[in-house]
Amino acid sequence: MISVTKAINIIGQQVKPLPSEAIPLGDSIRRILAEDIVADTDLPPFDRSQMDGYAVVAADTVDCPVDLNIVGESAAGRGWRKKMRRGEAIRIMTGAPVPKGADAVQKIELTRESGEALRILEPTEPGRFIVKRGSEIKKGKAVVNAGEQISENMVAALAAFGYFTVKVARSPKIAIIGTGSEIVEIDKKPSRDQIRNSNSIMLDVLCRKWGAAPVILPNVRDEISDLKSRIAIAARSSDMIVLTGGVSVGKYDHTKTALSELGAEIFFEKVRLKPGKPAVFARLADTLVFGLPGNPVSAAVTFHLFVRQAILLAQRAVKPDMPQGFAVASVPVKGTKERDVYLPAKLSTTADGRLIAEPRRFSGSSDFVGFARADALIVVPRGTNIAAGEAAKIVYL
């Protein structure tokens, strides 16, 4: 049995980085950038008014009320190009360039306009309501770096600098295979002794979430020859294969045998982990193979710890690890002697600012109903327990 850290290191050594491709910005969410995003202009590109009002010289407004001459107008997309002088004002709209000579904007609510005359009712000060050129970012600076995952919140910044396509790492192609003679597709009514294949679709959405391109292959029965041929075919067109089921020591657990007989190199087959001890990691020719336990919670936990890392590393992500933190356990959490426990938990906050982790009702690694509302895993290192109220390490799902 090897530690979780060792297992992750082994995976890291085997993953080969994928080449990059250009894709439309709107399709790039969750993909990993393969280029730095660089500002091609200052932002804002000119001193910009934050208000509808009047561009003025602040020194003219010290003794209010004061009357100024309106000599022009600066609208968004149509600035006023001459130089404004003392005693003058320019009507200005939100987003419009502040004319030369002006050093402040007074908002419309604090003014009265009649004809060419403008009365300023309250003083303003230099810089007021002006967003200075380049104050958000300077031309040539990187806004987002290669290796970062593109989020919805980044899209506006990328668009503003003309990245209508972006260079990202190609998505790893992943074949997902559910195994087990008891497994039926999810649109079927299971007969006696059968269960629906909830793993494959779960892994499919998880793979997509981390930027991979998965396909779900038909379920395979616990027949070694079927399993071998399915794995061999899948390996030809996939960067990775994720199997579930058949990795324990039962009479019909054939995954490891199938892999060995196909000539795969098996890197590990037992991890000091609960749930997820029998997780297998292997390589068949150039394809990485993950054999995850069939129990849905074990499959989810081992996906997050191992497959997710591999997917992100293949895309050259700078932060492939699960984000970590600390939270206060709401109840005592028992560890085990031999294995690190990763217990599904729901996070919440208290009014005094503490983060609380409440273990999900958890009746074992098959309890996907309990897992359904988990958003983190509480880590209980082997040989330790966590008392109620004690801070514990968590990893975010």
Q: What is the largest CA-CA distance in the chain?
A: 94
Helices (H), 66-196: 155-160
Residue whose Cβ sits closest to ligand AMP: 294
Smallest distance, Mg ion to C-beta of residue 334, A: 28
295 binds, among Mg ion, ligand AMP, none (CB under 5 to 8 A by kind): ligand AMP
Smallest distance, ligand AMP to C-beta of residue 236, A: 23
Smallest distance, ligand AMP to C-beta of residue 296, A: 5
Fill in the per-residue mask, 231 to 270: x = in contact with ligand AMP (CB under 6 A), - = not in contact: -------------xxxxx-x--x-----------------
Position 43, amino acid: L
Tokens of 13: 């050594």
DSSP 276-318: -TT-EEEEETTEEEEEE-SSHHHHHHHIIIIIHHHHHHHTT-S
Helices (H), the chain: 4-14, 155-160, 198-209, 224-236, 255-261, 296-302, 308-314, 368-371
Cα torsion through 209, 214, 218, 221, rounded to 10: -80
Q: Examine residue 214 and tell whether it contacts ligand AMP (CB under 6 A).
A: no
Residue selected from 183, 206, 217, 280 as contacting ligand AMP according to rule CB under 6 A: 183
How many CB atoms are closer than 10 A to CB 205? 9
Nearest partner of 88 among 112, 106, 67, judged by Cα: 67
Smallest distance, Mg ion to C-beta of residue 299, A: 12
Q: Examine residue 302 and tell whether it contacts ligand AMP (CB under 6 A).
A: no
28 binds, among Mg ion, ligand AMP, none (CB under 5 to 8 A by kind): none
Smallest distance, Mg ion to C-beta of residue 180, A: 4
Cα torsion through 301, 303, 306, 308, rounded to 10: -120
Q: Examine residue 197 and tell whether it contacts ligand AMP (CB under 6 A).
A: yes
- Of 52 and 182, CB closest to ligand AMP: 182
- Of 165 and 198, CB closest to ligand AMP: 198
Smallest distance, ligand AMP to C-beta of residue 151, A: 31
198 binds, among Mg ion, ligand AMP, none (CB under 5 to 8 A by kind): ligand AMP
Tokens of 255: 């995954």
Residues at the site binding ligand AMP, with contacts judged by CB under 6 A: 178, 180, 182-183, 195, 197-200, 244-248, 250, 253, 293-296, 366
